Structure 1
Amino acid sequence: MTTHFTRRLFGALAVVSTLALGATACGTSGGDADAESGPKDVKAALAKGGKVTVWAWEPTLKKVAEDFEKKYPKVDIELVNAGTGDKQYTALQNAISAGSGAPDVAQIEYYALGQFSIARSVEDLASYSATSLDRTFTPGPWSAVTKDKAVYALPMDSGPMALFYNKKVFDKHGVEVPTTWDEYVEAARTLRKKDPKIHITNDTGDAGATTSLIWQAGGRPYQSSGTQVAVDLADSGSKKYSETWQKLLDEKLVAPISSWSNEWYQGLADGSIATLSIGAWMPANFASGVAAASGDWRVAPLPQWTKGDKVSAENGGSSLAMPDGAKNKELAYAFMEYATTGVGATSRVAQGAFPATQADLDSKAFLEKPFPYFGGQQANAVFAESADNVGAGWEYLPYQVYANSVFNDTVGKAYVSSTSLADGLKAWQDKSVKYGKEQGFTVSE
């Protein structure tokens, strides 16, 4: 195996491999780990061998690639870090447009997949029998990679949301863990009154966090069918989010600290940032980046917009796709299926990835694994319940990468000026609509 990692990994992806989740105990998924039951041309390609170039920044793929090469000695997996996130997407789109230089496999986050699928820049994997994997993956990730009868990628992981809270801080000030967002606002007020140094959370404006909370609130601001797109960031879910979060901003209950900054890590460590509403991939970051607060933090279900509900959303997650122009398509698919199902998926979970496979998610060993960082809590049980309760029907824009790039110029103003969140969302909608029309989409509001 050849590995070319040219950039340092930051944030969640940088440390995802640091938290082992017990590989030997996890079950295998419903998918076939080596694609040998797939189309005959895939089996023939494995027997013949060749090289598969994979553009990805996710560190758990290194061991998966090594294991795949041991199973198929004639196959060489070349891992290349061509950049993370939008940096890779730009390079990938350029290579596809040029008709040369594209990899055989590319890591693409769920929110960005639409821009490649709408342009037919990635292969529909249905011809490789990928549709048979529908019950292998949990509903959220599977819906993110499928559209109608097409399968544009295979899920690598998922990010069902949960509420991480500093139990030590909550206990000290006699505050109950909030189960609704109204209770969350009240908890924020109480904590701030008890200790002016404490903020319920941090926020300087983040597109991914905003869309995830709108998703959980029942908002479905984006709808698309081919080149027909609808954008409505004033729907009921968007309003629930903006009205509640506006209270937190107006009353200065959130710390104006950027996530992943040194100040953020310090706030999590000393308790001045009391909660995070974020994806299930977060534990590894706590264990490595906030080690001083080990034992202080716990995990709870995400607060609900309506008391008694059990609704969650996804926050983050990536897939493996086959770009147009891939040279070794059959071998590429074989590796993709191996890396995302069966032993490949279990291997990645053991290295710290949060599973997108139902069998790994349901594994007794996974669900009952104690997390020393969280005081021995079986946190995976909370995450698994969240995964089962992700709201259906969510879509991203087929040009969400662009939309997210102008978030700070629109919604972000609500964090640094008198602009309201509702007005910021309207400005974000206006820019998204304008750009969509310029790109040839028929966009309605």
Structure 2
Amino acid sequence: MSDRKRLLGMDLTPLRTSRDYRLVFIGGTISGFGSFITYVTIPFQVAAITDDPLMVGLLGVCELVPLLVMAFVGGALADYLDRRLLVRGGELALAALTGVLLLNALSDEPHLWLLYVIAALTACVDGLQRPALEAMVPRLVKPEELPATMALSSLGMQMGQLGGPALAGLLISVWDLAWVYAFDLLTFSASLICLTLVRAVPPPPAADRPSVRSVVTGLRYAKSRPELLGTYLVDINAMFFGMPQALYPFLATQLGGPKILGLLYAAPAVGSLLATVGSAWTGRVHRHGLMVLLAAALWGVGIVGAGLSTTLWLTLLCLAFAGGADMISGIFRSIIWSQTIPDHLRGRLAGIEMLSYTTGPLLGQLRSGAMARTRLGVTGSIWVGGVLCIVGTAALAVALPRFFHYNGKDGIALKKAADEAWQAAAHTRDLDGSR
């Protein structure tokens, strides 16, 4: 029975052994709860003003363009500066942008253009902050605790994704939007207090200065590792074809009105939460590439079901199934990234990772919104996208045989060799400089 619990339960060791990770987990979970409320509210506000799914999908374009640049900048800075300071500065900037959304909602005629501007600026800040956060976390725990840490980080995100949209749907249906944004603004205080208490996370010795050359170094490393390329391409494919969130406000209208909007956003989080809580088994699996491919295909299956469903309960069930599959994919992708990338490249590769898991959903919103304006309509856009996701995943499995057969044990050895080579080179540079 104890073996079964270890297999199906969740490993909480990083929360017990690392004070700094515990602070990051608590602050991030509370802040994420409020951020997911705003994540639901902005598309709803755009839909309420325009009544056009394409205009909601264009939010993704506004976020994508700055991310294409700032993710590289944020990754380079994360390898050169104190990562904790970058994360804390990002939280302050995001709080300020939420304050602007609050003021806009209080005006007699909220400005549509301002919602797009805030979406773009939020993406800029996210591009600077998130690589530093993802590069910081592996420094706060022991290497053998990384699988459990990735699952716990996912748990914190899913708690926010589950509770935030559900509360957002309730608040939107009974209160003015200004109160919704005010709640998000309040949650930033918790994350800022926790990040202030975290000890400094300085850059690696002899860190590369931020430059185009340092960014190219990260890109070359990513290109040289088939297991990394596989994680990027599989996720982009799944999210581009199978991300229907831009259609949720319109799907809610068909299934019950604004009061169930939060349920649509929260349903994938329910599946993700269940998958995360029972994720202890992931630490015993070494065929990480195969698991990413299988999970991505199952995500597509869930999206097909959601598009074909005509009842609320079945739609929510299919979205929950898809969310669970997506979380399994995310856990194994995070394990691959954390166990195989040397620390001196962690920030720059985190920037590339960020592009992989954000460009797909953002472009997917545009795809789903544009396809919904055709004869397929809202539900047709959803299920056709799910079919294309499955087909694309199968094609990538054939096109990327080294990713399909990737074994995590090999990645750990490669990372260790890369870290040792960098430390030796840094030591040599120090000796040459002292002469």
Say which structure is richer in helix: 2
Which bracket does the TM-score occupy, shorter chain normalised? under 0.3
TM-score (norm 2): 0.24
